[in-house]
Chain A
Amino acid sequence: KQEVTQIPAALSVPEGENLVLNCSFTDSAIYNLQWFRQDPGKGLTSLLLIQSSQREQTSGRLNASLDKSSGRSTLYIAASQPGDSATYLCAAFSGSARQLTFGSGTQLTVLP
């Protein structure tokens, strides 16, 4: 059974800092790895999707990498802004179960 872990659970940084969020998964037989953002009281917004054959994806100030062999993904946020404050969730789409398995998220606070 796929298990996804995110470290740290919470992170607080001053505005302008670059930061890295970590995600690990136990079963490397994935179709893709997805990063989502969740604002309080709202649903999830897809940020980046990395296919199993890819190593990274970029969107604006966000860059996500995937290392299937080690079961790891990272989300890099450049020049953080207060508007980036949210919970960031990673999720592995497993091949056999055709399900998204989520981590518990990293709650990010960017201080002005």
Chain B
Amino acid sequence: GAGVSQSPRYKVAKRGQDVALRCDPISGHVSLFWYQQALGQGPEFLTYFQNEAQLDKSGLPSDRFFAERPEGSVSTLKIQRTQQEDSAVYLCASTRLAGGTSTDTQYFGPGTRLTVL
């Protein structure tokens, strides 16, 4: 595709519900990143995939957060038993190369705005 796409763009969940957020990276991009952006803050790293392998999940805030990329392309970020503090914009980014290099730009999707009531 022409760029990184994310769906849904907006999600409202009741506290305790499970949600799934989808990311379609640029075709052929090896690396995929998820970020969480709170209102008025910069994005914070959640997790990183190289193809289907999740190489870094150090930013996931709790075990309620789970991400997968089973075929090395589309990725899903799942949040179980959502809490109000999970309300944020979730951004996905992809890069052409593996692991990130000094010349590799991250291309971001438009994000999914999650509101937990």
Contact = CB atoms under 8 A, between A and B. Distances in A.
Question: How many B residues are at the interface, by size bracket?
Answer: 20 to 34
Contact of B42 (A42, A51, A53, A91): A91
Contacts, number: 65
Main secondary structure of the interface of A (DSSP, over half): strand
A102 B42 CA distance: 5
B45 A100 contact: yes
A31 to B, nearest CB: 5
A52 interface: yes
A81 interface: no
A34 B105 contact: yes
B102 A32 contact: yes
A44 B43 contact: yes
B110 A49 contact: no
Contacts of B58: 97
Contacts of A104: 40-42
Interface in B26-41: 33, 35, 40-41
Given A32-B102, A34-B105, A105-B42, 11 more contacts: A31-B100, A32-B103, A43-B108, A43-B110, A43-B111, A44-B106, A98-B56, A100-B35, A100-B106, A102-B42, A104-B40
